[in-house]
Amino acid sequence: MNNILVFAAFIVAAIATYFIASRLAMFGDGVSEKTKTSSAFMGIVIGAAISLPELTASVTAISIDSPDLAIGNLLGSNLFNLLALAILDIIYRNHQIMGRTDHGSKLYIYLVVFMTLIVIAGLSLSLPAPLFNISFNSIVLVLIYFLGVKWVNSRTEQKVQRRKRKNEKYDDYSYKQVLYRFIVCAVLIMIIGSVLTISADQIAKITGLGSSFVGSFLVGASTSLPDAVSVITALRMRNYSMGVSSLLGSNAFNIMLLSFTDAIYLKNNLFDYASASNIVTSVSSIIVVLIILYSITRKQKRSTMMYVIPPTVIVIIYFVATFTVYQMK
């Protein structure tokens, strides 16, 4: 019976994460509308808020002394984000969304690849931890992230124009109301993220799959649902660049969160406790984003059948990586 409750808690937490994070994004957009802040600035705020499940899941993993789960959660979430993008690319194949993105999407790919390479170096090498057991690569990740975001913003001159709607969704709300709802949803996401991680760790023990497998794919997939919803919303609005760029930007933010997770793991360098399966996840992510880069940069018009080859390859890579990680449990 206890095992059933654990699985039920995980399922309920995953579903709740999806719905509450969707509301979080909506009220974040409302805050942006009421304050007249730029879409770029609010994109960072909303992206950070939606990433709270990944953050709280990793923090909770640290609290239960499961550093491998903490790393696997963030890296697995990134890989699942890319899988979701590939599936949506196939579904919206007639629109050929990758060919309609702007220069900013490519710049985010460069940033994600560079940051992932730093993570692989941290997982493969025994790098020093010069400050309070915080590894050198964690410090570099923070610097690269903020410098990279500033670089992308400076290189992307064309701003995303806000879509004007006949019936404004937030006319019935005051600024205080949307801000209050945004904060409440953010707090709820933090609580649910903790429940999600604890139940996932228990499932790892019950099934014997290993915390790295659950962290990389089970928890990562669940906490990535809000990211997928935000992309779907952007695609339905025909704002393809915003959809692709927001997901890639979320991946970069998730990688930066590894530094925060390393900082709160006081025992030692976080990366020293990571299993080799996390390297498989990281390498797979790099291969996938390079395939996405190819899809974005190819100029010539292609048939639908030819267009879906890259996203189909991404789906295959995801499941091959899943199987490989499972075999390494």
The enclosing domain of 255 has a CATH number of 1.20.1420.30
The number of helices, as runs of H, and strands, as runs of E, in the chain is 14, 0
Phi, psi of 299 (to 5 degrees): -95, -40
| pLDDT tens digits along 63-94 | 878 888 788 878 888 898 899 899 989 998 88
Closest CA to 262 of 64, 52, 60, 70: 70
Res 329: pLDDT? 63
Note the helical H segments in 125-174. Answer: 136-155
Q: Residues of 257-291 as b/e, b for ≥16 C-beta within 10 angstroms?
A: bbbbbbbebeeebbbbebbebbbbbbebbbebbeb
Rounded mean pLDDT for each run of 10 residues along the chain, 329 residues in total: 82 83 75 63 65 75 81 86 90 85 82 93 75 80 90 65 51 84 85 76 71 57 72 74 80 90 82 84 94 84 82 93 79
pLDDT of residue 168: 60
pLDDT at 160 (0 to 100): 43
Query: In this structure, is residue 164 part of a structural domain?
Result: no
The C-alpha angle with vertex 297 and arms to 296 and 300, in degrees rounded to 5, equals 100
The CA distance from 52 to 48, in Å, is 7
131 inside domain? yes
Within-domain flag for 165: no
Burial string for 37-58 (b: 16+ CB within 10 Å, else e) reads eeeeebbeebbbbbbbbbbbbb
- Structural domain contains residue 11: yes
| Res 317: pLDDT | 95
Q: Is 131 helix (H, G, I), strand (E, B) or coil?
A: strand
Dihedral sign (CA 190, 191, 194, 199): negative
pLDDT of 118: 93
Residue 231 lies in a domain: yes
The whole-number pLDDT of residue 166 equals: 45
Quote the tokens at residue 32: 């942006």
Q: What is the pLDDT of residue 324?
A: 87
- What is the reported pTM? 0.80
The Cα-based distances of 169 to 26, 27, 237 in angstroms read 9, 10, 15
Neighbours of 165 (CB within 10 A): 10
Domain count of the chain?
1
CA-only gyration radius of the chain, Å: 19
φ and ψ of 134, to 5 deg: -85, 125
What is the residue range of 218's domain?
A: 2-158+170-327
